[in-house]
Structure formats: structure tokens, C-alpha cells
Amino acid sequence: MTTAEFFIRLIEALLAGLIIGFERQWHHKETGLKTNMLVATGAAAFVLLSIKVAEDSPNIDVTRITAQVVMGVGFLGAGVIFREGPNVHGLNSAATIWCSAAIGCIAASGYFVEALICTFLVTIVNIVLEPVEKWMKNRK
């Protein structure tokens, strides 16, 4: 992989995180613009590292670092979940962070269209289903 390819893949992840983070920030959620951008970019950086290392050592399994990204982001997501009496807040933000990391991994692997599709779907879920979720919570 050339440095230009590395850069393009990293920028793709950053932009995907920006789109998701913008929507979260717009709706005043726990995790916003910077968080989703950094999660997507960080996940992409780890995947790109594994790809670069595997180029030099063909016996290395590139999926091992990706698996650790999933675990690490799960821990990060747990930090935004909090309980207030009988209510739990932040689960959607944690899930969105997890999706941002996955999209960063997809972009780093060179699947640009797929990363864009996932970004679109995550954003649509967060925008379209929020009013439905509020309606369901408030119905009698």
C-alpha cells in the first residue's frame, strides 16, 4: 500500500466519522463530532497498521488487530452508558461509536462504497428512528 492509499483510506474513515458525528452533535447527544471522527479514524489507523505490517510479514493475520479494535471500542462505549434511577442513557451513543469504529475498519480495508453505505445507514437510523422511539416511550 502506498502512502497515498494509506492517506485516502484514513481520510475516508475521518469523513465517515464526521458525517455520523455531525448528526449526533446536531441532536445534542453524549458523543458528537470529535468522538465519532476520532473513533472512526483510530479504528482505521489500527487496521491500516495491521495491513502495513502484513505486507512485510506475510504470516501475520491482519484480522487480529481488527478484533482488538472491536474489544477496545466496546470498552469505550461502556463509558458513555450511565444509569439514572430506573433509566439507562447512552446505549445509542455507545452503539453509534461501535458503528463508527466498524466503518473506520471498512474504510481502512479499502471498501469505500461499503463504508459510505454503512455511514448512510447509521445516520438514517439515528435520524429517522429517534422520533419513533420518543413516540413509543411517551405513548400511554
Query: pLDDT (tens digit, 9 = 90+) per residue, 80-95?
Result: 888 888 888 888 889 9
**pTM of the shown model:** 0.88
**Cell matching residue 120:** 448512510
**Cell matching residue 55:** 505486507
Domain ranges of the chain: 3-138
Vertex 78 angle, CA 77 and 79, to 5°: 90
| Distance between first and last Cα of the chain | 57
> Residue 140: what pLDDT?
67
Residues of the chain with pLDDT under 70: 140
Query: pLDDT (tens digit, 9 = 90+) per residue, 49-71?
Result: 999 988 888 788 888 888 889 88
> Residue 3: what pLDDT?
93
Q: Are 115 and 16 in contact (CB under 8 A)?
A: yes
Other CB atoms within 10 Å distance of the CB of residue 131: 9
